Structure formats: C-alpha cells, structure tokens
A and B are shown apart, each in its own frame.
Chain A
Amino acid sequence: MSSFLLYVGFGLVSASILCISAIGFTLQFGISNLFNLAFGSTMTAGAFVAYIANSNGLNIWPSLVLGAAGAALLSLFISRTIYAPFKGRVKSLFTLIMVTLGVGIILQYTMEAIWGANNVSYNMAVGRSVHVAGMIFTSTQLVVIGIAAAVSLAMHSLLKYTRVGKAMRAIAVNERLARNCGISVRRVTDYTWLLSGALSGLAGGALVMDVQILNFGTGDGFLILIVAAAVLGGIGSPYGAMLGALIIGVSSEVAAGFINPAFKTVTAFIVLGLVLLVRPTGVVSSIASAKEVAR
C-alpha cells in the first residue's frame, strides 16, 4: 500500500505538467478547430527562453515566467502569420494538420541548429524532500503541483465568470453563431493563442525542472502524452484535459512502479486506446461532439 501511494505521488507530478500543457493544447483545438502539433515545439522554445534567462543569473521562477511569455508571443505569431492565413485559404483538414506538423518540425530543428543536440539543465536547487501522506516530493515538485492546481482553478474561473472566457466557450461550440452574436472571433482567438502559448511555455519549463534535461526534442517527445491526455478527456474540453492528464499521469507511473518501468508510456496509450474504442469522443465529449470528430 505504501509503495502504491509513492507511485501515485510520482504520477501526480507528471499529471500536473501534463495538465498545464493539455489545457493549452485542447483550448487551441476548441477555438481554432485544429490539432496544433507544433505545441511540443513551443513548449521547448519556452523552456529555452527560461534557460537563457536562468543561465544569465536570473532565479528559476522569474525565468519560468519569461519562458511562458516567450512561448505566448511565439504562439500568437504562428497563429497570426501561418495558421490563420491557411485556414482562410484552404478548407482541407489534411492541409491544416500538415501545416502544424511542418511548423513544429521547422521550430524544433531551428532550435537544434541554434543550440545543437546537447542536453542542458537549469541552475536551480531541487529543494529538500517533503513527505505528504505516504508520498514523497521535492519542494520544487510541490510548487509544480501547486501551479497546476492554480492554473486549473484560474481556467475554471476564466471560462465560467469572465466575458472573454464565455466568448471562448461560445466559439468552441459554434463559431458562426458566436460571430453573429457580436463576438470578435479574431480578438478572442488571439487571446486564446496568447494564453495557450503561455501555458505551453510554463509546462515546458516545469517539465525541464522536473526531469532536469532540456534539448531540442524535449517538448516534442512529451507532445504525444499531451495529445493522449487531451483526446482521452475529450478534445476541446479543458475539464476533460485536466481529467485526462490525471488519468494518464497517475496510471502510467503506477504501472511503471508495479509492472515494469519500461511499460510507462505503453500503459498510458493502452488506457487511451480502450477509451477510444468505447467512446471515440473522449470522456467529456460536449465540444468533441459539436465538432463532429467522430460520427
């Protein structure tokens, strides 16, 4: 039992990072109706911005904020200069997904061209370990969990109580109707990409703080878990993303602890596969159904 709790603890840490990023990924799908496969690369970019600030002597936490800001601007830039024009020009879903994949590849290998394939890590103290109810965390990990909880709460309040948040929900369910009701889709889309970009940068930084390794492929390697969490929870739904992150994060760590560490990612995917077979739209399926991802 005690070792079970221990693995759940590890799972909570990965679930937290997954949660921050999956919310961003799923928001982008909800608003812009595209799977942004460049998300992993903006994560890495944010982590690298944080790395530059950190290696120039700044403390890790302000560096993390800078990284989030950098990734936010980058995401907005990509959305405005590439995705939006393509969406206006072509209707083919294939074109859009290939565009995001292409942008991701360009970003990722631009970073490799600049920083090389070497691993770097942040200059930070991991902090002493803390025991909580049978689980062991470093204080950094506790802060990461705290950030994820705060992001989830903030997202809930944003979507529930603010005009921008309500506009986002409206656009996600029916863009044309939202436009006809006087919502400025363009502006809300920009806000969404800023916000989701910031989340990607934050998650990228948090991921590197947790695993202590950063290279040009860090975010891209993590992307597939993000996709799994978002799809499992129901693509387009932020609450689904939180739930999916929790399921994927905890189940993969528990399986890694109890069965075989090698099956960590495989377990996550098997859970996803089972859910997709039974319910292709994911657990929280309102937006996924509105967008007819599965008939």
Chain B
Amino acid sequence: MSSAWQFYVATLLVYAFVYIIAVTGLNLQFGVTGIYNFAFIMFQACGAYTTAVLTLGRSTKSFQHFILGYSLPFPIPLIASGLVSGALGLVVGALTVRRLRADYLAIVMLVVSLIATALTTDATGLFNGAQGLALIPQPFASITSSTIAYNWLYVGFAGLVCVGTCLAVRRVIGSPLGRALRAVRENDAAASALGKNVTALRLGMFAAGGCIAGLSGSVLVGFIQVWSPSSWLYGETFVLFTALVVGGAASNLGPVVGAVIVPVGLAEGTRYLPQIGAPTLVPSLEWIVIGVMLLLFLWFWPGGIVPERKRKFPQTEPRKTASHILVELPNDGLQPGAVPVREATRR
C-alpha cells in the first residue's frame, strides 16, 4: 500500500473504533436501559476536553485559553476523561430523578446539550470559545517518529480500548444487572415493584454511558489533536442514535454494525464521489440519506440489522372460555359437552 492509502485506512480505522466505542456506550444507556440521552455527544466532548487540558501543558497558553494545563503521561488523561465524563453523567442524570416521560426527558436532554454548546462557545476563558483548542499532543509521540508507524500504533491502541469496552458492555448485558436494566426499560413501575432501585440503576447507567463516551472522546482527540465545540453539535447525537437503530439496539453486535455502516460508511463512502453542483451538495445529500435510512429502518426493520434476541419463556396456557372450546373442537359428531374441558384446553 502506498503511504497515502495507509494513512487513509489508518484514519478510517481510528474513526471506526471511536464510533464503535461511542455507540456501545449509547447502547448501554438507550438500548439496554431505555434512557433517551439526547445530550450523549456532550459526554464525548467532555472527555476530549479533559484529555486536552491534561496534556496540553502551559506552553500553548500564550495563544489559547483553557483551565489546568498539565502535561501528564499517557494513561492518566484517558482514565481521567472516563471519570470526569462519568461524573458529569451523574450530575446530568440527576435531572431524571423526577421521572419524566421518556420523550420529555429526551427534549430536556436536547436542551442540556444546546446549553453546553452555548456555554462552551461563549465562555472563552474556560474553553477558548468557538475557536477551540489546537496542538493537543499525541500520547505516544515518543515511541516512533514515523507518521505511518505512529498511525498504525494508534489504530492498535484505539482497537484495544474498543475491544475492552465492547467486552465490558457485553458482560453487563448478559449479567443479572443487565436483566434488571432491561426490566427498567420495559416497565419501570414493575421493576420498582420487584425491588429494583430504578433511580439508582438509571443514574448508574448515566455514569457508565458517560464514562464510555468520555473514553471515546479521549481516543479521538489524541488522534485529531484539535478540540472545538462545533465538532460536537447535537446532530452528531442524531447520527449515533441512527447508527444504533440501524445496527440494532440492545444486541452485542448491533452497535458495531451500525457504527460501521452509518457514520463511517456513509461519511467516508461519499468522499470519492465527484463534486456535483455546489460544494455543499454531497454533504447535504449524505444527511438526507441518513434521515431517510432512519425512517425506513424505523418503519420496516425496527429491530435493526442485528435485532436483540429476546429471551422466550414457555407460555402458561391461557384459560379458555366455552366458546373457544366449541370453535376448536374437531367436527367428529360429538356434542360439545362430550369432551372434558381439561382435555380441550390441552390442545
């Protein structure tokens, strides 16, 4: 492969891993627990910002404003990103303590997301405003000086984080905790009646999902080396939700499939199309395709490509009324009363 191609493929892979991590986190919140967190992208941005301020050091403060400014070695910023985003998840999740109707919560979350965008853009001292942060150092720069080798190294790192996250979420989904979460999703009143602490479970998933989103943001920002509020607008949350719907919510493989098809496949698949019409035409067609895809999936395949496998339990026989028995009896000339009811119901 030529170096340009290697660069392209490596970049694509990093993006794919970042999206898979993020959609997996969203799956935990939305797919499994049924929380409509329309502020999801805010947690990714938060993780990215945490990594940025912990690695930027003081030297770049001459031309951009931010808080802290440490240059901590590699694993600390990643872990801190997860923790800070998780903590933010707890704070935001506190909004759900009053049980809001699911779509009302979504609207409130949407507003939260936009407040965050407005705040980050307006508070120039804290986040350097709309310009964002630049020159965020690469975490493994000391290991190799070759760009290509570095990119492949980063692919491996992103892949490791991604696989780790997927396995962890898989464990949660299959565990008794996962069962409790699904119970909260299907019927929170019933889950509560069975002794599950619905509020604590929701809060916990807000924190866990936020933490995973933070990790994805940290991985992303270490690669692209820039941070700006305009890269994390609420449209991105829409893309992640679409990916989850297309891939299949609450399944293990669904987030992976969805992330590869929607954000990675669509955004990159259109890159080599010849420019037709105005320069904005292809990107806007991309958005239209994502929207149409969402509607088609919701209508025809609401379970997504890899639907959740619902556990089936043997049904207890419903009680049948006399009229059922009459209808179901074979026409063998017997009187309806001639067959004992117990036998008739056993058919």
Contacts and interface: CB of A to CB of B under 8 A. Distances in A.
Given A105-B287, A113-B288, 4 more contacts: A97-B103, A98-B245, A266-B115, A269-B115
B285 interface: yes
A34 B106 CA distance: 12
A93 interface: yes
Contact of A294 (B36, B98, B292): B98
Interface string A111-141: 0110011000000000000000000000000
For chain B, which range describes its interface: under 10, 10 to 19, 20 to 34, or 35 or more residues?
35 or more
Interface string A253-266: 00000001011011
Nearest to A221: B114
Contact of A266 (B99, B101, B119, B242): B119
A89 B302 CA distance: 11
Given A97-B36, A113-B285, A113-B288, A227 B101 contact: no
A269 B114 contact: yes
A35 interface: yes
B237 to A, nearest CB: 9
Interface string B42-68: 000000000000000000000000000
Contact of B122 (A92, A101, A113, A266): A266
B323 interface: no
Contacts of B107: 35, 97, 227, 231
Contacts, number: 130
Interface in B85-121: 95, 98-104, 106-108, 110-111, 114-115, 118-119, 121
Q: Which of A92, A101, A108, A269 has the most CB of B within 10 A?
A: A101
A112 B299 contact: no
Interface stretch (B166-174, B203-211, B276-284): B276-284
A106 B291 contact: yes
A263 B290 CA distance: 33
A102 B103 contact: no
A224 B110 contact: yes
B114 to A, nearest CB: 5
B164 interface: no
A269 to B, nearest CB: 4
Contacts of A108: 287
Interface string B296-312: 00110010000000000
B229 to A, nearest CB: 13
Interface stretch (A151-159, A198-206, A272-280): A272-280
Contact of A99 (B95, B99, B295): B295
A14 to B, nearest CB: 15
B94 to A, nearest CB: 9
Given A105-B291, A227-B111, A35 B103 contact: yes
13 contacts: A37-B110, A93-B36, A94-B103, A97-B36, A98-B241, A102-B298, A110-B288, A113-B280, A117-B278, A224-B110, A269-B114, A273-B111, A280-B104
Contacts of B291: 102-103, 105-106, 109
Contacts of A228: 111
Contacts of A269: 111, 114-115, 118
B9 to A, nearest CB: 29
B298 A95 contact: yes
Contact of A116 (B34, B98, B280): B280
B298 A86 contact: yes
Nearest to B188: A295
A177 interface: no
B294 to A, nearest CB: 4
B294 A102 contact: yes
Interface in A73-112: 82, 86, 89-90, 92-99, 101-103, 105-106, 108-110, 112
B302 A265 contact: no
B238 interface: yes
A86 B299 CA distance: 7
6 tightest A-B contacts by CB?
A106-B291, A262-B122, A109-B287, A109-B284, A112-B284, A93-B103
B235 interface: yes
Nearest to A96: B103
A245 interface: no
Given A98-B241, A293-B104, A294-B100, A113 B281 contact: yes
B116 to A, nearest CB: 10
A292 B99 CA distance: 10
A106 B245 CA distance: 17
A292 B100 CA distance: 8
B298 A90 contact: yes
Nearest to A280: B98
Nearest to A111: B284
Given A101-B238, A224-B110, A293 B122 contact: no
Nearest to A34: B103
A280 B100 contact: yes
